[in-house]
Amino acid sequence: MSASVIPGAIVLVSVALAIWQFVVAMRFPLHRRIPDPGFAPDISILKPLKGADSETRSCLKSWVTQEYRGRVQILFGVHSPADPVCAVVRELILTHPNVDAELVVCPKMPGPNAKVSTLIQLQRLAKYEVVAISDADIRVPEDFLQQVVAPLAKQDVGLVNSFYRLVHPRNLAMRCEAFMVNGDFWSQVLQARSLGRLDFALGAAMITTQAKLREIGAFDSLVEYLADDYQLGNRIAKTGAEIVISPVVVESLSAPMTAKEVWQHQLRWARTIRVCQPAAYFFSILNNLTFWSLCWFLSNPPMMAVNVPFFGACLIVRIITGSTIEDKMTKSYDWSTFAMAIFSDLVRPIVWALSFLGNTVVWRGQKFRVLRGGKLVPCS
């Protein structure tokens, strides 16, 4: 009996966390639109790019074809003119002559973060006060700018960002990662927000102002960090400004990844969060109903008559909450969610444990050490 007390207590905590996560997700007005935002300042869009795949054109076109009342400038930044994405950008510029878009070669590398290095050079060419920053593999709805910029009309708002969903997973590993994002990550962010103001940003798509960027030292202050989106939101939040999450969801169309690449991505993500928010990440292991109910089940074999139905009930709670949250995000039902909810819960403790057993990550094919606070140091 004594061996099962601690796992049993943690199971109760996990149940409470799962229900809490479910409630905040259900209450959030995901996908809701503002009927007539009205506020439409001129915007400069900064798009750092590297490489191209079958989804690149679709993602970039969604930014070129925005339905927006204000003026829009789009700056596509590449490190090298030989990058294959240049052909995609030139074709889009040619076929949309009325759009103020430009391909900018950004050869300088002032720090280890290549994306931020490009943003530093793009910002100098930005014509407008409001600035949108987005990852290369993000596709947005036609009304994205019109909807997401609206909160900036309030003076206390410093940055607006969006949740993202992973679409078109190509294999089991990518499907598992898709569930972690679509069925867990966004609701966990809302869970954190329910405790107080957000002090970080989600990098898929963010909108802020030149004034706020100057206040935190612009992108130059982020070039040595891996989690530039976290750092950007954290530094803006420290100025007293509010970080707002828009109900508008964007899509992440990741290039096909092998199981090894997905694993490296998960480990990089875990180690990044660990160094940025060590205490919160350490206790995040408690939010795993499948794992802890399994530990409780195995810790007290003599009570199988009680263990079996309780363990089954925990799995049902996990499957129902996880599948409902993912369904709200994706607006489509997927039977594989049942298995993914359980499978991802069993994988996550392994990733969590390994995140404490090293500080190296693989990013864009290069190996780095991540120091305390999130600074990057290239491995020789």
Three-class DSSP labels, 155-213: CCEEEEEEEEEECCCCCHHHHHHHHHHHHHHHHHHHHHHCCCCCCCCCCCEEEEEHHHH
C-alpha to C-alpha distance for 18 and 46, rounded to whole angstroms: 37
Q: Directed axis angle between helix 304-330 and helix 186-193, to 10°?
A: 90
- Sheet-wide strand order for 242-252: 100-105, 72-78, 43-48, 130-134, 205-209, 157-166, 242-252, 138-139
C-alpha to C-alpha distance for 205 and 214, rounded to whole angstroms: 19
> Residue 82 contacts by C-beta under 8 Å, 6 or more apart in sequence?
none
- Domain regions of the chain by residue span: 35-183+194-256
Task: Give the pLDDT score at 333.
Answer: 79
Task: Give the pLDDT score at 372.
Answer: 82
Written as one string, the DSSP assignment of 50-71 is ----TTHHHHHHHHHT---SS-
Q: Is the pTM of this model over 0.75?
A: yes
Task: Give the pLDDT score at 25.
Answer: 97
> With contact defined as beta carbons under 8 Å apart, do 13 and 296 qualify?
no
Task: Give the pLDDT score at 378.
Answer: 86
Q: Which structure tokens are listed for 218?
A: 């612009």
Coil, helix or strand at residue 242: strand
- The CATH classification number of 35-183+194-256 equals 3.90.550.10
Predicted confidence pLDDT, tens digits, the chain (380 residues): 455 677 788 999 999 999 999 999 999 999 999 988 889 999 999 999 999 999 999 999 999 999 999 999 999 999 999 999 999 999 999 999 999 999 999 999 999 999 999 999 999 999 999 999 999 999 999 999 999 999 999 999 999 999 999 998 889 999 999 999 999 999 999 999 999 899 999 999 999 999 999 999 999 999 999 889 999 999 999 999 999 999 999 999 988 889 999 998 999 999 989 988 899 999 999 999 999 999 888 887 666 666 788 889 999 999 999 999 999 999 887 888 899 999 999 999 999 999 999 888 887 778 888 888 888 888 86
